[in-house]
Amino acid sequence: MKHLHIDATNGIAGDMLLSALVSAGASLDKIAEKLQSFITEEFKLESKTVLRCGISASLLIIEELADSQHTLHHGHHHHHGPVRCFPDIVKLLDNAKLNNSIKKNALRIFEIIAEAEGTVHNLPKDKVHFHEISGFDTIVDIVGCCLAIDELAIESISCSPISVGTGFVNCAHGKMALPAPATAEILKKITTVQLDTGTEICTPTGAALAKGLATDFGVCPPLAIDSIGYGAGNKELKNQANVVRAIIGSLISEEDKNEDIVYQLTSVIDDISGEKIAFAIEQISKAGAIDVYLKSIIMKKNRPGFELTVLTKEKEKNDVELEIFACTKTFGFRVQRLNRKILERKIIEVEIEGKSIGVKVGFFNNKPIVFSAEYEECKALALDLGKDINSIYNEVEYKARELAL
């Protein structure tokens, strides 16, 4: 499995991560071409080699062609073009000719920023004006990283603990202590380290990219390293290299890729209505549960009740437990630590009638054995073409088998 480890021990910004991925092997020209196909502002992307504390790194330069006097680097995001809200970003990406996995990753990252800004300003995410991060350069950073990850065929991503700086940053709402409020909100539940830099080294975009892309935060897993890229920030810092490092390689611990550890939480409940148990399932799922299900049972004194079973990974276990207590009013539940057999998963794209459909492929011992097309995408295509959904499923999964085998 091809793995990316993001080394953010010296901080992270969107353009720095994109530069690191390009330095590690992604094509900046291909990324620029795909970005320009849907971004309304005209721009040019370039990369130049710089030194940061003696380390050779790539610095991304974004030049807006409509006003060539403006050149954008890390730490100097400008506010050109329309002020975009989250629905504007959704519409822009919906209309873009990108594969679905790229769109989904990008939308997840933008949603993380919108939710953080909404929390900070007490607004629904759809009403948030992104201010500092609404310019096209941020779209370049986020979608560009997703394009690079797709091009490099990255299948799993981890990230180091994220370093943040000290000092103050000038925001649209005035001077704020670092980390900026939106950045701090995004970094909840992620291990962070504050370095005495006197300047910002972790931006909201960088934090959102790490949170939206990485599934694990900590040390780099055992890798057979294929490539390493360094992305530079615009500032030269005194006592540390202002770089993000992208480490790409094959995971070595292949023997356990079809097995992991989960926790099963079980409770019996006899004093809750159907409406409240439905709400509890929603909240427990939002807290990060892998699966939540109910069984109807007869309890003591012949009273009808429910047996609630929840599966969760260790990372989300505390949050899930809190929601079980808060939403069901139970005074306790059983906890079991279980080994779970799973299939290694990969999303591939299949084109049917000019539409791209995502198919989840399950691998066991490197052999593809399960194919599952995305329901919502198959449903939309069936309605567009006036066909029954079973024929769409059959055609999509047949083509997926041809591609995977």
In 3-state terms the chain splits into helix, strand, coil percentages (rounded to 5) of: 40, 35, 30
* pLDDT at residue 363 tops 70: yes
Helical pair 136-151 and 14-23, crossing angle rounded to 10 deg:
30
DSSP state of 229: E
Q: Please work out, in degrees rounded to the nearest 5, the angle formed at the alpha carbon of residue 165 by the alpha carbons of 164 and 169.
A: 115
Whether 140 and 232 share a structural domain: yes
Looking at residue 294, the DSSP 8-state letter turns out to be: E
pLDDT-derived band at 251 (thresholds 50, 70, 90) equals: confident
Q: What is the DSSP letter of 161?
A: P
Q: Look up the CATH number of the domain holding residue 319.
A: 3.30.70.1380
* Helix 100-121, helix 136-151: angle, nearest 10: 140
Q: Are 230 and 327 in a shared domain?
A: no
Contact 32/280 with Cβ under 8 angstroms?
Answer: no
Give the highest mean pLDDT range of 78-82, 230-234, 301-305.
230-234
Token pair of 319 as six digits: 């949050």
Q: Are residues 391 and 308 in the same domain?
A: no
pLDDT band at 131 (very low <50, low <70, confident <90, very high): low
Regarding whether 197 and 221 lie in a shared domain, the answer is yes
Is there a single domain that holds both residue 229 and residue 282? no
Domain boundary (324, 341, 358) is at 341
How many domains are contained in the chain? 3
Q: Which residues pair with 6 in a beta bridge?
A: 159, 246
Same domain? For 236 and 181 the reply is: yes
Q: Among residues 292, 316, 341, which one ends one of the domains?
A: 341
- Considering the domain architecture, whether residues 218 and 365 belong to the same structural domain is answered as no
For residue 68, pLDDT over 90 is answered with no
pLDDT higher than threshold 70 for residue 246: yes
pLDDT at 159: 97
Query: Do 248 and 355 have their domain in common?
Result: no
User: Average pLDDT, whole number, for the chain?
Assistant: 89
pLDDT at 338: 92
Which structural domain range is residue 231 located in? Answer: 2-254
User: Are residue 312 and residue 349 in the same domain, yes or no?
Assistant: no
With bands split at pLDDT 50, 70 and 90, how would you rate the model's confidence at 76? very low
Does residue 310 sit in the same domain as residue 246?
no
Same domain? 91 vs 106: yes
**In the predicted structure, residue 74 carries a pLDDT above the cut 50:** no
pLDDT digits (tens, 9 = 90+) for 210-237: 999 999 999 999 899 999 999 999 999 9
CATH of the domain at 396: 3.10.20.300
- Answer yes or no: do 280 and 385 share one domain: no
